[in-house]
Amino acid sequence: MEQYTSQSLPETNQEEKTPAKPRRSSFWIDTLETIIMALLLFLAINAVSSRVRVENISMKPTLQPGYLILVNKLAYKLGAPKHGDIIVFDYKGAGQEEYIKRIIGLPGDQVVVEHGIVSVNGHPLTEPYLAELPRYSGSWSVPEDSYFVLGDNRNNSSDSHQWGYVKSNELIGKAILVYFPFNAVRSLVIPDLVQAAN
């Protein structure tokens, strides 16, 4: 009778199991990283843009009270204002209230309002966004480093035709987008009004 010897195979060296990190500490680390990333993203977005709520009727019908708009704060650090830009500014640097109006005159421009028509350097502007034609008249020579601004609701707007010019150091940024309410979402960027009038 044949005899067989059973021999167990030598045990292979099993790697020592490393204890897993406690789930709780991993969760808190992930949460902290997420919060830090969100905060950095928020600060970066705030450095280049701001969100502004329209509070009055001076820019109707383009901007209604309650509209939320996105403002590019780098627009005039990287480029120059142009006719037709909707701007947000801190009038006289008071820091108490931000105003929103449309740039009509650039430094050196001659702005004339007569018979309901606004002209810049002799070129009548086409302004389909107006609530109604202005019922006032006047002539203004825009000084250096200044801007002549008007509200789209011309006869119900406190603006340059009453209190003068906005200085370049008072500009906060350029309004580029209505983002709320959702049924009013649209771009606020338009071609240069004076170039279009030439």
Q: What are the catalytic residues?
A: 58, 101
**Cα within 13 Å of Cα(120), Cβ side:** 25
102 in Cβ contact with 84 (< 8 Å): yes
**34 three-class SS:** helix
Q: Burial level of 166, CB count in 10 A (0-12/13-18/19+)?
A: buried
Q: Which residues have CB under 8 Å from 64's CB, separation 6+?
A: 54, 184
Distance (Å, whole) CA 65 – CA 122: 33
- Per the listing, tokens 């001659």 go with 110
Q: Which residues pair with 99 in a beta bridge?
A: 89
